[in-house]
Amino acid sequence: MTAIDDEDARLFRLAMRDVRPRPPSPRVADPGRRPEPRAHQREADDLEVLREMLLDPDPGLLEHGETLHYRAPGVQEAVLRRLRRGHYHIERVLDLHGHNRDQARHAIVRFLAECRQRDIRCVRIIHGKGHGSPNSGPVLKRLLDGWLRQRRDVLAFCSARPVDGGSGALYVLLRSG
């Protein structure tokens, strides 16, 4: 050690000669007792799920009638759930009221080709509830279910929320490009 270091140590001891340790404070918590661990994130997630259920219930539970839903292989369930709740922006709408099956099929092909060309990702197709169909129910609804399942550009579809036509319309999520 150098002389300055020895001198510094001597001065420090001189400055600290009257310092005495303080007794432990009674206000300090006992470090031996710790609170039980809580899964704060799990609680927050559970509350968020409950909030979503109360504020934005699943439309399939609200409306009577047969609802449709489909997701292509590899598409996550959460994507279909968000589609069902109306979280995607609807960019185009096709109304098939008054179409027969051939007209509807051609309209669907043209509509989806235009959407693909314009890189439109989410659409609503109104097929109706079949009230105008003689004794056979919603014909276009059943046909549309089959047609859309066969298309590679369709990632998912589901019946719309009641405000958008309910079981008489579909939200369709399309593959980009």
Domain ranges of the chain: 67-174
Amino acid 76: pLDDT: 93
Q: How confident is the model at residue 31 (pLDDT cuts 50, 70, 90)?
A: low
Topology of domain 67-174, CATH: Ribosomal Protein S8; Chain: A, domain 1 (3.30.1370)
User: Cα 110 to the chain's mean position, in Å?
Assistant: 29
Q: What is the pLDDT of residues 126-147, one digit of tens each?
A: 988 766 666 566 788 888 988 9
Q: How many CA atoms lie within 13 A of 150 on its CB side?
A: 8
Strands (E), 40-164: 69-71, 92-95, 122-126, 154-159
Q: How confident is the model at residue 172 (pLDDT cuts 50, 70, 90)?
A: very high
